[in-house]
A and B are shown apart, each in its own frame.
Chain A
Amino acid sequence: MAGSAPTWLEAVELTKRYGGVLALDRASVVACAGQVHGLVGVNGAGKSTLVKCLTGMVRPTGGSVLVDGRSLPLGRPVDSLRAGIASVPQELTVAPTLTVAENIMLGHEPRGPFGWVRKREARRRAKDALASVSLDVPLSAPVGQLPLIEQRLVMIARALSFSARLVIFDEPTATVSPHEAALLLETVRSLAARRVSVLYVSHHLREIEAVCDSVTVLRDGRIIADLERATHLTLVDLLAPDRVSEPRVVREERSPREVVLEARSVWGPRLRDVSLAVGAGEIVGLAGLAGSGARELLLTVCGAAPFTDGSITLGGRRLRSANTLFAVESGVGFLPGDRSLGTFPSHTVRHNVALPSLSRYARFGLVNSRAEKSAVATLLDRVALRAHTEAPITSLSGGNQQKALVARSIGSNPRLLLLDDPTAGVDVATRPEIHAQIRTLSDAGVGVLLVSTDAEELAELSDRVVVFERGAVTGELTPDVMTPARVLAAMTGHPLPAVRQPKEDR
């Protein structure tokens, strides 16, 4: 954060190592009074780690933070708060049954004798904090009853009530409407006008362009660029390559394709009039940031989220709203990248892999474990996973656990495979192997819906990419214009027709 404003906070070469993984590698940032600094990077680039080092949630392996030239004790949230570093978390962490005033003052209530809370003083300070975010709500209202946007403003007020000099926003507009997003950006600007420093972490590159005075770009834990005033497309260039690193597999067009999945005018809590079809053997990518509707559509199809209107048909069967069992029985397979949704951590590899296809190895409800073992071994072979079937799933590396889940998907013989960030947290070597397996399945006629926060993955795998924003489909990218950079531009809200000219020579 250069510029003329005085620098009061300096994070110097912060490094964080988790086991053998360098999550953050000598990253330095500074905070200047009244400046908004952006922090961008793909998932896993180290943004959250950097933020957590600053807020004291994580103790860095190396490096230091200087506040007004003095070294800040690291790894203790209390010290960070005292130094004026406060964050507005991505997830709402309000206590919903407590009042607005209680939420704002939680943990730093003014104390009277015998540990009593000095209520009048607490309310006065809460009121001041609310005024600084221009929020007018009753101090005694339970926070849980406020609209989400006001809850978020209460959390910002809470951050300010610690006399914060640096407020960190982590993806603040992920789940709000465009109007509310504008309101939040307005609040960020007003904070800067009051000489507060802001660190703004977001995937919404358009917002970064609109609100940030300077931007730091992280990749693989390292800072790859420090920019003054970055435009949306500059950032796209830095974040996504022009070409895919895996060569695109040119696949012959099957015509006419049998339709596997058809969604017609689907409405839901986070979906607005979504229509989409997936053919047999087709990989349809869904691009969009958190809350855009891409992931929500996936969850709706597999019955984990409800739909209120419209229809979803799978192989001629009309799916029911919020009925996972029916969806799975109709042939939906689900492969999450978030392994908390996928693995059974107390169980063996065999149990994890065989679960959806158990009935095939069972007779009269009894599992024939010999048949099961050999089937699982075959599946593990197919995904090139060298692991003992009886090993605990948690003894495998993240990438190998993901391979085991791919094996499970293959074993369940789905007609439609739903992939939710299938290579999140997977090592570089395993990623192409998983992609190859997905292609193999698709070649065998399985329809695939792919949601990914990784633009390169979408460009590599998809036959076409459907773009989502604020719950609705806003466009589609065909293979001829499907570079990672374009996919990223589209998914971060760049208007589709104005995507920059193709640089590739085909």
Chain B
Amino acid sequence: MRIRSSAREVAERWSLVLAFLGAFVFFAVARPNSFLTWDNARAILDDSSVLCVLAAGVTVILVIGEFDLSVGFVAGLAGAAGVSVMAFHGWGVGAAVAVALGAAAVAGVASGIAVAYVRIPSFIATLAVGSIAAAVELAITKTAIFEGLSSSYVQIATTRVWTIPLRAIIAAGVVLAFLLLLRTTVFGRHAAAVGDNSAAARLSGVPVERVRVIAFMLAGLAAGIAAVLVTSSATQYYPNLGTGYLLPAYAAAFLGLSLGGGRRFNIVGSYIGVLLLATVTTGLTMMNQPSWVAALVQGVVLLLAVASVSVRRGGTIGR
């Protein structure tokens, strides 16, 4: 027996890739001299690296059928924790990164426990954890801005490997790691099963609670990595550095849904979703459009993408 799929299904499945290519071609024709350059491609990769990492974390949460609204706040907390141990205690770069990732992972585990064991709906649990994370962040930094971070810390973002920014390579590495995690490991399969049918997963012997906690920890970890990338490239820490990333991270993941047949959130889809958003933003900026146009186009694209999937599925998304 062969797996049959209609031409329409194929078209729908690849609609995201087509949209990305379409946007790329559009801007390449409109601004051949500035858009279609190696510098620009590099800039898009570089600019989107933070979002890539956050979107990968968010995708894991969506795969288990939950929401994590705390990722932006957790990134802020992680940035504050990492930078402040360097500034206040003179710790090294490695230790600072470890502290940042540790703080983010702890926040993720807290959300995970609240969702998995206390059974608080993830939507509200992660709002609460996010609020606490934001509070702790401000308590650590007293709303100060830390400038003049050590050059070795800044190099995390600015180093170039064969002209490619290290930041983009790290982001690609994280995306690849999450991809392999979801695709090839027992955890990945368990996570997908929990998201698809948690009752059946439980009856199949999947440790549902543990899977949920690990997923939230991974999302926290991703937020921590994102925080390191943000602070090192900005060469400074500023309060609430992660708040602007929440919406585009979810937008990217939902754009990627079409690549999973409209049912499965997937890392590759989220990654292409991020690239699409970054391309549109960059391209519109090059065409001298005001920044609200980019936000408008992103919103419309997201609505269309999700609506097409939703209509086909009879009104349910990602379930």
Contacts and interface: CB of A to CB of B under 8 A. Distances in A.
Interface in A146-199: none
B3 interface: yes
Contacts of A342: 200, 203
Contact of B196 (A341, A345, A354, A366): A345
Given A325-B205, A347-B192, A341 B200 contact: yes
Nearest to B265: A346
A304 B205 contact: no
Contact of A341 (B184, B187, B199): B199
Contacts of A367: 184-186, 189
B253 to A, nearest CB: 15
A387 interface: yes
Contact of A325 (B1, B186, B202, B261): B202
Contact of A344 (B184, B187, B192): B192
- Contact-size category for B: 20 to 34
Interface string B192-206: 110011011111111
A365 B203 contact: no
A388 interface: yes
B205 A329 contact: yes
Contacts of A341: 197, 199-200, 203
A366 B193 contact: no
Interface string A384-420: 0011101110010000000000001000100000000
A334 interface: yes
B2 interface: yes
Indicate the member of A344, A369, A386 with the most B CB atoms within 10 Å.
A344
B207 interface: yes
B186 A365 contact: yes
A388 B3 contact: yes
Nearest to A342: B200
Nearest to B187: A365
Contact of A395 (B3, B186, B200, B260): B3
A411 to B, nearest CB: 10
A388 B201 CA distance: 22
A451 to B, nearest CB: 14
Interface in A454-483: none
A386 B1 contact: yes
B33 to A, nearest CB: 45
Given A302-B203, A328-B203, A356-B205, A390 B189 contact: no
A231 interface: no
A344 B202 contact: no
A343 B196 CA distance: 9
Nearest to A354: B189
Contacts of B264: 346-347
B263 interface: yes
A358 interface: yes
A123 interface: no
A439 interface: no
A330 to B, nearest CB: 10
A26 to B, nearest CB: 30
B86 to A, nearest CB: 34
A340 interface: yes
A386 B2 CA distance: 11
A367 B183 CA distance: 9
A358 B188 CA distance: 11
Given A344-B197, A346-B264, A369-B184, A351 B202 contact: no
Interface of B: 1-3, 184-187, 189-190, 192-193, 196-197, 199-208, 260-261, 263-264, 319
Listed from nearest, the 4 A-B pairs whose CB atoms lie closest are: A328-B205, A346-B263, A344-B196, A356-B204
Given A344-B197, A354-B189, A387-B1, 7 more contacts: A342-B203, A343-B200, A344-B193, A345-B263, A358-B190, A388-B3, A392-B261
Interface of A: 302, 304, 324-325, 328-329, 334, 336, 340-347, 351, 354-356, 358-359, 362, 365-367, 369, 386-388, 390-392, 395, 408, 412
